[in-house]
Amino acid sequence: MSPKKKQVSRRAILKGILGGAAVAVTLPTLDCMLNGHGTAFADGAAIPNRYGVWWWGNGVRREHWIPERAGRGFDLKAETMPFAGVKDYMTMLTGYDVPSAESAHNAAHAWLTAGHSDHSKTYHTPGSQAYSHDQIVADAWAGQTPIHSLQLGVSRMGYEGNGTRGNTSYADGGAVMHAEFDPQSVFDRIFVGVGGDDEAVSAELRRARGRRASVLDAVMATSTGLEARVGAADRARLDQHFTAIRELEVRLSDESMAAPIAPICDPRRTGARGTGEGEHNSREPLEETHEAMAEILRLAFACDITRVFSMQFIKHQGSTIFWQVGTDRQLHDITHDGPQDLVHDINVFMMTQFSVLLEKLRDTPVGAENLLHYSTILGTSEVGEGSGHQSNNLPMVLFGKGGGRLEGDQRIDGGGTSTSRAILAAIHSTGVEAESFAANEGRATEPAPGILV
């Protein structure tokens, strides 16, 4: 018996890439689907919201961050000036404090999730109560889009090498959700894999997808008994893994995924590569990587492939080298014993990158509005200033209007209100009415006042 001659290379079947044609999976919101005002679907259903967090490590320079004026028409300072083009969508939050005894760079665990992190004596992840806000929203929307949520990262440089000190996303039960750092790989994973220009090829691809689904079915059938034998932390990890397998199986089995391609969802391959393992030290292509990630997010939002992301631009206590502004030193070190003007330049550079994503969303129409209108994106860091490690008055800023639940062009001062309550307000701005956020001393059951319209 000789192996059958394969029409399509296995690699092509795996990746679904044929003759350079990438095929996307769903339709964007098209005007013909909407009501006459472009404010809802024709059947009256609301246009969906999106949620995300854009994270950076080492805080800000407060004198260049905190506005002088309150309320509508507040003033931008040098480190928020990059947001001038999206100020109408900006809710500047000042005066919110971390409600936890955890301090310094470890505070991120505490205030993003209120899980405890006794990182010197036990396993590092913050514990079973950690359940990050982005995941609360994504879980509430589970099943409504092909991809549950994206966890993305740009700089691999942690504190001293590529250790994973701090993460931005934790699943229900506290399992860490690792970020993806390579835009090309993210792109391939979420946009590529179905259909084809040619019916014979499409049929072969559909068959291959069906067989992959059968394989996953067998994997699950032999796996589920494991959960009963492990402790709580492992159960949370397996939950995350099994959920991923089931979701992949659903996607592979879904014939409708071979829907015809819509022009807006036909991205070219990004061509952008993130920094590889081991090449993290000195010359990371931060702008290119982030731009590619931002474009992926724009497309994924536009085509409703996912509605939730976390983006870790640099890591907690990140020692990224910002060669783009002319330094060879590591950011974390500079914050403590370097020129604070240089820290400022780096902060402006980072916020400029953030604005690239925000402007892309603003410039992508959805009916009468745009993607940013239907988004809530929290920008934040783990400390007040890198030099001082303050856990009060953290940098927090919301972008987007949550489909109308946020007014925009507002500065709201919390006067010492907990960050957890501000985050609960951000969650509610998406329409997800979570009853609480965080645990222990950080638990909030009421959103911070004044943020929601």
Partner 1 sequence: MTHVPTHPTLLVSALAGLVGLAGCVGFIDDAGAHGGDDEDRVVHPPPSDPGVSLPGPRLRRLTVDQYRNTVRDLLGGDLEDISEIPADYRADERGFTSIGAAEATVGRADTERFEELSLSYAAQVFDDVGRREALVGCDPSDAGDPCVVDFITDFGRRAWRRPLGGDDIDVMVGLVSELAESGEVWDALELTVAALLQSPHFLYRVELGERAAGDSRMIRGYEMASRLSFALLDRGPDDALLDAAAAGELDDGEGVRRHAQRLLEDPRAVAAIQRFFGEYLQLGSLEGIHRDPSVFPDFDPALGDDFRREIDLIVEDAVFDRRLAIGDLLTNRRAFVSPALADHYGVDHPGGDGFEPIDLPADGPRGGLLATAGFLASHAAPEETSPVKRGWFIRLSLLCDDIPEPPPEVQANFPVVDREKTMRQRFEEHTASPTCRACHEALDPLGLPMEEFDAIGMFRVDDRGQELDLSGELDGVPFWGTAEMNDALRDDPRVVPCMTRHVARYFAGVPEFPGEAAVADTVLASGVGADLRSILIEVLASDAFRYAGALEEGE
Which run of H or of E encompasses 184? helix 183-191
Judged by CB, which is closer to partner 1: 399, or 437? 437
Cα–Cα distance between 228 and 226 in angstroms, integer?
A: 5
Answer yes or no whether residue 240 interacts with partner 1 by CB under 8 A.
yes
Tokens 């330049």 locate to 345
State both tokens at 338: 């370097």
Find the shortest distance in angstroms from Cβ 204 to partner 1. 11
Judged by CB, which is closer to partner 1: 69, or 229? 229
Among 342, 336, 327, CA closest to 282: 327
> For the chain, how far is it from start to end, CA to CA, in angstroms?
70
Answer yes or no whether residue 46 interacts with partner 1 by CB under 8 A.
yes
Cα–Cα distance between 289 and 344 in angstroms, integer?
A: 22
Which run of H or of E encompasses 217? helix 199-221
Considering only residues 12 through 41, tell me which ones interact with partner 1, judged by CB under 8 A: 14-15, 41
State both tokens at 2: 């000789």
Cα–Cα distance between 292 and 183 in angstroms, integer?
A: 6
Answer yes or no whether residue 311 interacts with partner 1 by CB under 8 A.
no
Q: Binding pattern to partner 1, positions 337-356, x when CB under 8 A?
A: x-------------------
Answer yes or no whether residue 286 interacts with partner 1 by CB under 8 A.
no
Q: Binding pattern to partner 1, positions 199-238, x when CB under 8 A?
A: --------x---xxxxxxxxxxxxxxxx-xxxxxxx-xxx
Judged by CB, which is closer to partner 1: 120, or 268? 120
Considering only residues 359 through 398, tell me which ones interact with partner 1, judged by CB under 8 A: 387-390
Answer yes or no whether residue 161 interacts with partner 1 by CB under 8 A.
yes
Find the shortest distance in angstroms from Cβ 165 to partner 1. 4
Answer yes or no whether residue 164 interacts with partner 1 by CB under 8 A.
yes
- What is the rounded (10 degree) CA torsion for 364, 366, 368, 369? -60
Find the shortest distance in angstroms from Cβ 324 to partner 1. 14
Answer yes or no whether residue 144 interacts with partner 1 by CB under 8 A.
yes
Find the shortest distance in angstroms from Cβ 135 to partner 1. 8
Answer yes or no whether residue 189 interacts with partner 1 by CB under 8 A.
yes
HSE toward the beta carbon, residue 382, CA cutoff 13 A:
28
Answer yes or no whether residue 247 interacts with partner 1 by CB under 8 A.
yes
Judged by CB, which is closer to partner 1: 193, or 414? 193
CB 380 within 8 Å of CB 132:
no
Cα–Cα distance between 125 and 178 in angstroms, integer?
A: 12
Answer yes or no whether residue 253 interacts with partner 1 by CB under 8 A.
yes
Considering only residues 51 through 90, tell me which ones interact with partner 1, judged by CB under 8 A: none
Answer yes or no whether residue 256 interacts with partner 1 by CB under 8 A.
no
Answer yes or no whether residue 245 interacts with partner 1 by CB under 8 A.
yes
Q: What single letter denotes the amino acid at residue 40? A: A
Cα–Cα distance between 173 and 414 in angstroms, integer?
A: 29
